[in-house]
Amino acid sequence: MNTAPDSSQNQAPIRPPVFWHLPARTPIVTYVLIGLTVTAFLGQFISEAALGGDLLAAFGMKINSAIMQGEIWRLLTPMFLHGGLAHIAFNMYALFSLGVGLEKQYGHGRFLMLYLLGALGGNTLSFLLTPSNSLGASTAIFGLIAAEGVFIWKNRRMYRNPQKELVNVALIVGVNLFLGLGGGIDNFGHLGGLIAGIMFAWFAGPQWTGTVQPTGLHIIDQQRPGRMWLVGGLVALFWCVLAIVKMVG
């Protein structure tokens, strides 16, 4: 007597659909930041061509003596200014590559706060530790790189191979800091952005968890939305206090 094989034993288990509840769908802030930075660069170019000097850089780049005289906006405005076409092209490519994914995970407001804090931390540490003038979005970019690493670590159960992802982030940081040893690059600015990004992302970054519902597996950020204001305020206060101590010291 022949028996027919049980077809149910050969079937792959049915996987429930997975729904990611992302805070943002379209990375509007990333696109706006790129637009503002490119516009500022065009202003620098026009100023050079028409007036023979870069007025935007003169009034906005990180100049320690000017900050000491009270021009504290220079701890943020350098993130919109660049020293050449290759400089802005590299930074805007990095902002687009990192920002599109991070903004969807963070949401518009939290992502903007992360970017601003990276710039603040980077320019403040540069102000504290190096007399050189500097400009560029790389301070904020390093804040994004740090946040990417923290996101992978805190949500490593969501990745097939989180170690590989973390090694990639570490290599990006290591290579860029190594290149900065050759001169002409503000490594303290990069390091400050990295530290500020870690500080904010660790305490206010997305913390994903999965809940099984009748419709499938829902991945939800369990981080409280209002927490970003407390953490962001404390991180900003930390860097501002360091800057003030030097200014009055």
Catalytic residues: 138, 190
Side-by-side strand order, sheet with 18-20: 18-20, 216-221, 208-213
d(CA 161, CA 150): 15
